Every structure is written in C-alpha cells, then in structure tokens.
Amino acid sequence: MPDCDVLVIGAGPAGLAAATRAAETGASVAMVDDNPHPGGQIWRAAAGKAPQDAARWIHSAEQHQVEWIAGARVFAAPAPNRIAVEKFDGELELGYRSLILATGARERFLPFPGWTLPNVMGAGGLQALAKSGLPVEGKKIVIAGSGPLLLAVAKYMKEHAADVRLIAEQATQSALLAFGLRLAAHPGKLIQAVGLRAALLGIPYLTSCWPVAAEGKDKLEAVTLSRGERTWTERCDYLACGFGLVPNTEIAALLGCRLSDGSVAVDEQQQTSITNVYSAGEATGIGGLELALVEGEIAGFAAAGASARARTLFAARDRYRKFAEALEHAFAPREELKALPREETLVCRCEDVTLGRVRSCTGWREAKLHTRCGMGPCQGRVCGAAVEFLLGWKSESVRPPVFPTRIESLTRTEPPA
C-alpha cells in the first residue's frame, strides 16, 4: 500500500507548487525536505519567518492537507515505488503512486588557491548563514563568481548593513549587455533587474573579474582579484563566491531516470524517463523562480492525472525557458577560469586531493580508485562540477546511498535487486 498518491522530494518553489496543485485535485500528497522549513534556496526562512510570496504557497500547501516531513533526507530507493528517508532521530520509508523530484540546484564551486580557508563561502552559502542569524553588519564582503545570484546576495548583504566591497562577475560586459537586451522581452524580469541595480547603488560591479587567490593564516583575511591586466588585493572578512548553479540530479540518477546535459530529462508533462516519476524546477535545468514555480504546477497536475490542467501552463513555461536559455548563455563560465587552480590546489575538499593528482589520472574511475577524489562524504557534489569544468570528465553513475548515512540506516534498508 502506498502511503500517498503523490510524494514530492524538495520543498522549494517547484516542490511547493507541485504539492499544492496535486493536492488541489484531491490526491493525497506528502512532501519531504532536508531543511527544517519549507521554501528551498530562495525562500530559505529567515530564522523561521518566510517571505510573503513564499508564505502564500506554504499556506496553500497546508490548506490542502499536504503532509510535511521536515529535516528528512532521501538517501535510497529500497524497492519499486518506495524511498528511504533519514531524519536527525531515525529513518523511515515512504511509498507512493507518483513521485515528483523537485531537488533544486546547488552552487558551482571552482577551485583557486586559498578557496578552502574558513570564511571563503558560496555566495548563496554566506546568504544562507546570514539568514540563519550570522551577523554581517559592518563586515567587509567581496562577492564573486557568476550569475544573477551574486546580485541577489549583494542586495541582501547591503540591506543587512554589510560593507560590500565589490561584485566580481566573470562574464564579459558584452555578454551581459546582450542578456540585457533579451531581458526586455520579459518585463517582469526587467523590473526585477532594475530594482536590483538601484538597491546596489554604490557597490562596484566589475565584469571580466574574478578571484585568483584567497589569503589568510587561520581564516580569510584578503582576496586577490584579477581583471584584464590589473591584479589587486582587497581586505575582507568574507569572500562569497559561486560560479552559477548546477542541478541536483542524484536522486533521479539513483532511480534510473535519464539525465541530459547534467539535468533531469523531462517531457512536456514534466515526466521523466520513468512513467510515474516527474521532475520540476532547477533539477531539470537552471531557470530561476518563475520557471521553477510553473514547472512545479505542471508536474503537480500531471502527477495527479490532471494533464489537461497541466497543458494550460505550457505557454507560460515556454516564455520562462527562453529567459533561462539567455541566462545560461550570458553567464557561462569562461575558459580562463580553468587556469585558476595550481597543481597543488585542492580540488576534492573531503579527501584533500590536489588538481595535480587528479589530472594524472585518465578519468573519474581511476581518480576515485587511486586518489579517492569524490569518495568523501559530499560524494562529488562539490568536486564533481569542478572536475567536469576543469578536465571535461562527466561524473560516474550514482550508487546508493546518495548521502553518507548512519550505519543503522543502511542495515535496515535492503539494497535494490
């Protein structure tokens, strides 16, 4: 007996929209997320208080009796139509008729000398800590990497009285100008972009600029930046650095869903290559909030068998997908970044494996076997995207568990036949 008709993994915008729409049709719906609060990355609750648009979705999920399973991490698929979940205080198994993977994305981290020092964080990473109470008032912060997330983080930090020294965006000015032109076709986005620009007044936004080294004794003290011919050092308390986002596809891979170009492949109903498994939001490709929401709605309707209602949203999805394509193009990491790590720079932070050692291998398999690169607790979630960018190696297939789990969780769950 399944525990629910529709099970949603991930309670970000895509998961919330999916759960709500599925429940609206009368289906019984459960939603699990690793985090203690719903909202995903963008709506990460500020000490328990979610922003308003988030509150609307969370409220309507509650109203439609979506069962919310918090602080629960999916780590295995022990039998067909069942998943295993680990919580802080134990584990449980959940059965479903249809599954929706709304597992979102993570930041792409690229190694450079000093990137392992305390207080060098992801851009979204520092924001997440700040939202959970880390005071940033008066702190000197350099924001670097690539993509619109840098602007969102800068705005957040400025609003919280941080001293944001500068934003270093690796993309070229001309790529961004071309992106700006395409933005004009998306009035909603344009207003957002303009609003951000006003909010960021006074913070230098430097294109074609990136960190070449983070320096400090026990923790970060300064970052050296490079822009064209110029190289200079900026003292700071935090370096918030992320080079765009990469989809979280581990659960999809575990289930055997087809992946394409690093994201979960879906058809027009957001259905994966497995009939009763759907996927929505950034797991299917990086596209921002609006696309995640509309994909979630489509997946929710479709998973509950309401495909006609799903169809009414296709046009909106197409519009946001065009925006997502332009985004990807404008902020693609450039070749020069491959020269950032030195041979002795660590690539794998779990097992402390240097670029030189990884490079001496013929591919992922050998690197894992001989250097343990990607074999630590993060299981390649950080180094995988870096190695793919630096050396062009695609990650190997996933074996359960997709997260390291406590021994008792493993012995209770039979491996798949």
Ligand X SMILES: Cc1cc2nc3c(=O)[nH]c(=O)nc-3n(C[C@H](O)[C@H](O)[C@H](O)COP(=O)(O)OP(=O)(O)OC[C@H]3O[C@@H](n4cnc5c(N)ncnc54)[C@H](O)[C@@H]3O)c2cc1C
Which of 5/351 has CB closer to other proteins? 351
Residue 30 touches which of other proteins, ligand X, none (Cβ within 5-8 Å per kind): none
Beta strand ranges found along 230-387 (DSSP E) = 230-235, 238-243, 245-247, 259-260, 263-264, 277-279, 346-348, 353-354
Whole-number minimum distance, CB 133 to other proteins, in Å? 4
**Cβ partners under 8 Å of residue 337, min gap 6:** 110, 170, 210, 243, 389
For 31, 67, 301, the CA distances from 305, given in Å and listed in that order, are: 18, 19, 6
Contacting ligand X within 155-214 (CB under 6 A): none
Nearer to ligand X, 112 or 323 (CB): 323
For the segment 60-119, give every residue that binds other proteins (CB under 8 A).
71, 73, 88, 106-107, 109, 116-119
- Written as six digits, the tokens of 322 are 């065009």
Q: Among other proteins, ligand X, none, what binds residue 116 when CB lies within 5 to 8 Å by partner kind?
A: other proteins
The site string for ligand X over 33-72 (x = CB under 6 A, - otherwise) reads xxx----xxx------------------------------
Using a 10 angstrom Cβ sphere, with 0-12 exposed, 13-18 middle and 19 or more buried, the burial of residue 384 is buried
Rounded-to-integer distance, Cα 111 and Cα 322, Å: 31
Whether omega for the bond prior to residue 401 falls within 30 degrees of 0, making it cis, is yes
- Can you state the percent helix, strand and coil of the chain, rounding each to 5? 35, 25, 40
Residue 74 as a binder of ligand X (CB under 6 A): the answer is yes
Selected binder of ligand X within 292, 302, 304, 383 (CB under 6 A): 292
The residues of the shown chain that bind other proteins, judged by CB under 8 A, are 34-36, 41, 45-49, 71, 73, 88, 106-107, 109, 116-122, 124-129, 132-135, 218-219, 248, 349-352, 376-378, 381-382, 404
Site for ligand X, rule CB under 6 A? 9-15, 32-35, 40-42, 73-74, 102-107, 124, 127-128, 149, 152, 245, 248, 251, 281-282, 288-289, 292
